[in-house]
Amino acid sequence: MKVKTKKDRRTRVRLRQRQRISGTPERPRLAVNRSLAHISAQVIDDHAGRTIASASSTEPAVRGRFEDGARGGNVAGARIVGAVVAERALEKGVKHVVFDRGGFLYHGRVRSVAEAAREGGLDF
């Protein structure tokens, strides 16, 4: 696969990461996806092929927590999404996860989701 665009680069990095990162029932995968306007996170058990918990900046329940200029496209909104996904995962009995940044750089909104999930009680 020849890298021509940023999207091609991200896809290539994501596929390379997924060769090493896999979610198990004991330690599912915390996958982060971001777009220009929104961010979402899922806790996934790859062996069973199911999503255990998820949170997205498009959900009305998550949007209700946004305050002080927070939205899906900024760090403050990403922090709220990370806290919500951690809260939902802990309700399902998941404490340990593997972080999957999805080919995005560990910086900005992706980093905020990770830090908020750690503060929320997830271990990775």
Per-residue pLDDT band at 33 (split at 50, 70, 90): very high
List the chain domain ranges.
6-119
d(Cα 89, Cα 69) in Å, to the nearest integer? 26
Tell me the per-residue pLDDT of 78-111, one tens digit each, with 9 for 90 and over.
999 999 999 999 999 999 999 999 999 999 999 9
Regarding the domain delimited by 6-119, which CATH topology (the fold level of the hierarchy) does it fall under? Nucleotidyltransferase; domain 5 (3.30.420)
Can you tell me whether residue 21 is helix, strand or coil? coil
Tokens encoding 81: 């999404």
d(Cα 108, Cα 116) in Å, to the nearest integer? 12
Tell me the per-residue pLDDT of 8-22, one tens digit each, with 9 for 90 and over.
999 999 999 999 999
61: exposed, middle or buried (Cβ count in 10 Å: 0-12, 13-18, 19+): exposed
Mean pLDDT of 37-55: 97
Report the 3 state secondary structure along 51-106.
EEEEEECCCHHHHCCCCCCCCCCCHHHHHHHHHHHHHHHHHCCCCECEEECCCCCC
